[in-house]
Amino acid sequence: MSSAPAVPKQFSHLTDLASDLTGTFVLYSTDDYFAEKENLLKPSAPVWIEGKYTDKGKWMDGWESQRKREPGHDFAIVRLGTPGTVHGILADTTHFKGNAPQEVSVEGIEAADTATPGELIDNPGWKEILPRTAVLPDHPNVLILPAISPRVTHVRFHIYPDGGVARLRVYGEVKPDPYTFWQRGSVDLAAIEQGGTVAAVSDQFFGPPSNLLLPGRGVNMGDGWETKRRRTPGSDWCVLKLARAGLIDRIELDTHFFKGNAPQATLIEALNEADISADELANCLAAKAPWPVLVHKTPLVQHRKHVIYPDRPMAVTHLRVHIFPHGGVNRMRVFGTAVDTESEARTRLGLNQMSADEARALFLSWNGSHTFAKALLEKRPFASARAIFQAADEVWWSLGESDYLEAFAAHPRLGQPQKASTQTEQSASWSAGEQSGITTTQEQVAARLAQLNELYFEKFGFIFILFATGRSAKNVLEQLERRIENDRAAEVENAAREQAKITRLRIGKWLLGK
C-alpha cells in the first residue's frame, strides 16, 4: 500500500473532515460502474497498476462512473466523520488522464447521522458551498471555497459530466454537537472528533503529532507521533489545542507499540488563552516564553497506556507535552469537563438574575410541568451550563405520573399546527394539509399517523410523544405502530424518556440563542 499523501499547504492548519479514520462514509453515488465510490476515502495515495483489468474495464484506484449517454451528471453523497465548517477540498484526479471530469462542485447540508440516501436526495436544505469549478486531469486539484461554509454533516460531490476522481478530502474546522460538552461526565477534550488540533511541534520526523488525537489505539508504531533521535540536551514537545477550554480530570498517554523507542518521561504544561494576550500566546507556541506546569516530570515505560493526573486544577485551552529525551507516543487522551463559553456564561448569568416569574416562564417553555418549573427554580443559581442540564434531568426523573401527564399535555396534538420553533422537537405535525406537493404515499403516512395518534390517546389518555429530530414521518409512524402495542405503564415511561430528550433540546436551543 502506498503512503498517505501530503496535506496541501493551504490546508495544513485544518482537519480532514472526510477522513475514513473518523467514520466518514460514502452513502450513495449515481454510478460507480468502473470503480467503487468507497475508494474516494482511502487514506493512501492513489496507485496505478499497469495491465490490471476487471471484467468491466481498466482497474482504477478511485471512483469512476461510466460514460454518460444522456443529459445530466454524476454525484456522490458523503457523510462526514467529523461535522464542521468547510474551507476547501482536494479533488485528486491522479492517474485519471483521459477519463477525469471537466468540472466539480460541492453542496453541504446539516442532517441527522441516520438520514438515508433517499431522505438526503429529497431534502431541500442542500446549499452550494463550491460552485462549478474546472479541474485538471491526473492532478491533485486544491479548491478553496469562496467563503467558509456553515456547519455541515454531509457533502454532495458533483462531477461534470462523468468520469473518475481518485480521492476526495474535505478540509475545515471540526464543529461538534455542543451537547457533547453539556453531558454528565468527562469528555476527551483533545480528540479530533471534538475539534482538538495540534498548534505547534518541535519535531515530527517519523510521524505527526496529529496521530495522537485519532480514535482507537493505533495499529502499529507508524500510527503515532515519533521524533528523530535527539543528539542535544532537552526534550521534544508538541502543543495540543483543546476543543474547548476545560478542567482536566486525567490524561492518558499511550506508548503502545513503542518498545525500543518510547520516551523515558513526560512533563505537561498548560495555559488558558483567555488569560493572556495574542502576542503572549504566540510566544508560548514558539517556545519563547515559560508555561505553567500541569504535570511535573513523570516516568514512562514502553508499550503501555499511562494514566496521569494533573498536579492541580486549572482551566486550560492548550497543553505542551514534553517527551524526554525523544521517541514516540501512540495516542493521547485528555479527559475533562468543558468550561462555559463566553456566550454560555452570559446566558446562564442572565438566567440566575431573572425574577422568579421570568425564570418560571422560561422553565415552563422547556417542560410543561409546573412542578418541574418550581423545583428547577429552587436550584438556582446555576454554576455552569452543564449544571442546568444536570438539574433539569434530576428534577424530571424525580417527578410522578401526574407531573408527566401535565408536561405531555403541553404538546400540540398530532395534526395541529405548530410554531416553527417546536416542529422538530416532537411527533407533531405531518398532516396532509401542511405539506405542499405531497405524494400519495406521504398522504397515506400522514393519514395513518393522525388515525393512530387518536387511537393512542384513547388507549393511554395522553398524546404520543416522540423526540422526532432527524426522523422522517415514515419512521415516526413506525415508532407509533410499535409503541401503541405496549401497556400504559410502559408508555408512560417511554413518553417520559422522550420528554426528557425534548427538554434537553429546548435548553440547548435557549443556550445557543435559537
Please measure the distance between the N-terminal and C-terminal CA atoms of the chain and give it in whole angstroms: 48
**Dist CA 413 CA 430 (whole Å):** 11
Last residue of a domain, one of 297, 317, 338: 338
Backbone phi and psi for residue 294, each to the nearest 5 degrees, phi listed first:
-95, -40
Q: Which of 184, 287, 298 is nearest to 252 (CA)?
A: 298
Give residues with Cβ within 8 angstroms of 260, minimum separation 6: 302
pTM of the predicted protein model: 0.88
**Dist CA 333 CA 117 (whole Å):** 34
Do 130 and 75 share a structural domain?
A: yes
Last residue of a domain, one of 122, 146, 173: 173
**C-alpha grid cell for residue 115?**
438520514
Do 154 and 98 share a structural domain?
A: yes
Q: Could you give the angle at the alpha carbon of 182 between the alpha carbons of 179 and 185, nearest 5°?
A: 120
Do 350 and 470 share a structural domain?
A: yes
User: Which CATH number covers residue 355?
Assistant: 1.10.3330.10
Give 453-488 pLDDT, tens digit per residue: 999 999 999 999 999 887 778 888 999 999 999 999
Asked whether residue 1 is domain-assigned, the answer is: no
Per DSSP bridges, beta strands 74-92 and 25-29 are antiparallel
Asked whether residue 34 is domain-assigned, the answer is: yes
Burial grade of 421 (CB within 10 A; 0-12, 13-18, 19 or more): exposed
User: Which CATH number covers residue 73?
Assistant: 2.60.120.260
Q: Is 229 strand, coil or helix?
A: coil
Do 312 and 297 share a structural domain?
A: yes
Do 118 and 89 share a structural domain?
A: yes
Asked whether residue 2 is domain-assigned, the answer is: no
**C-alpha grid cell for residue 248?**
482536566
Q: What DSSP line would sit under 36-51, residue for residue?
A: -GGGGG-SSPP---TT
Asked whether residue 488 is domain-assigned, the answer is: yes
Per DSSP bridges, beta strands 315-324 and 236-254 are antiparallel
Q: Is 7 strand, coil or helix?
A: coil
Asked whether residue 142 is domain-assigned, the answer is: yes
Do 187 and 157 share a structural domain?
A: no
**C-alpha grid cell for residue 113?**
447521522
What is the model's pLDDT at position 39? 98
Query: What's the half-sphere exposure (Cβ side, CA atoms, 13 Å) at 472?
Result: 16
Asked whether residue 276 is domain-assigned, the answer is: yes
Last residue of a domain, one of 314, 338, 362: 338
Residue pair 189/336 in contact by the 8 Å Cβ criterion: yes
Do 319 and 257 share a structural domain?
A: yes
Number of domains in the chain: 3
Taking phi over 0 as left and psi of -120 to 50 as alpha, with beta for the rest, 372 belongs to alpha
Do 312 and 212 share a structural domain?
A: yes
Asked whether residue 436 is domain-assigned, the answer is: yes
Query: Per-residue pLDDT for the chain (514 aa), expressed as one digit of tens each?
Result: 456 778 899 999 999 999 999 999 999 999 999 999 999 999 999 999 999 999 999 999 999 999 998 999 999 999 999 999 999 999 999 999 999 999 999 999 999 998 999 999 989 999 999 999 999 999 999 999 999 999 999 999 999 999 999 999 999 999 999 999 999 899 999 999 999 999 999 999 999 999 999 999 989 999 999 999 999 999 999 999 999 999 999 999 999 999 999 999 999 999 999 999 999 999 999 999 999 999 999 999 999 999 999 999 999 999 999 999 999 999 999 999 999 999 999 999 999 999 999 999 999 999 999 999 999 999 999 999 999 999 999 999 999 999 999 999 998 865 454 444 443 344 433 322 222 333 457 788 888 988 999 999 999 999 999 998 877 788 889 999 999 999 999 999 999 999 999 999 999 999 999 8
Cis amide leading into 381 (omega within 30) = yes
Going by the DSSP 8-state scheme, the letter that residue 341 receives in this structure is: P
Do 319 and 363 share a structural domain?
A: no
Residue 407 domain boundaries = 344-512
Give 381-390 pLDDT, tens digit per residue: 999 999 999 9
Max intra-chain CA distance, the chain: 80
How many other CB atoms are found less than 10 A from the CB of residue 39?
Answer: 20
Asked whether residue 272 is domain-assigned, the answer is: yes
Residue pair 133/103 in contact by the 8 Å Cβ criterion: yes
From the centroid of its chain, how far is CA 260? Answer: 36
Do 287 and 228 share a structural domain?
A: yes
Beta strands in 272-314 (DSSP E): 293-299, 305-308
Q: Could you give the angle at the alpha carbon of 74 between the alpha carbons of 16 and 48, nearest 5°?
A: 60
**Dist CA 121 CA 424 (whole Å):** 20
How many other CB atoms are found less than 10 A from the CB of residue 382?
Answer: 18
Q: Which amino acid is residue 86, in one-letter code?
A: V
Do 229 and 157 share a structural domain?
A: no
Q: Please report, to the nearest 10 degrees, the dihedral formed by the alpha carbons of residues 235, 236, 241, 245 taken in order.
A: -20
Residue pair 496/469 in contact by the 8 Å Cβ criterion: no
Do 185 and 165 share a structural domain?
A: no
Give residues with Cβ within 8 angstroms of 418, minimum separation 6: 412, 428, 429
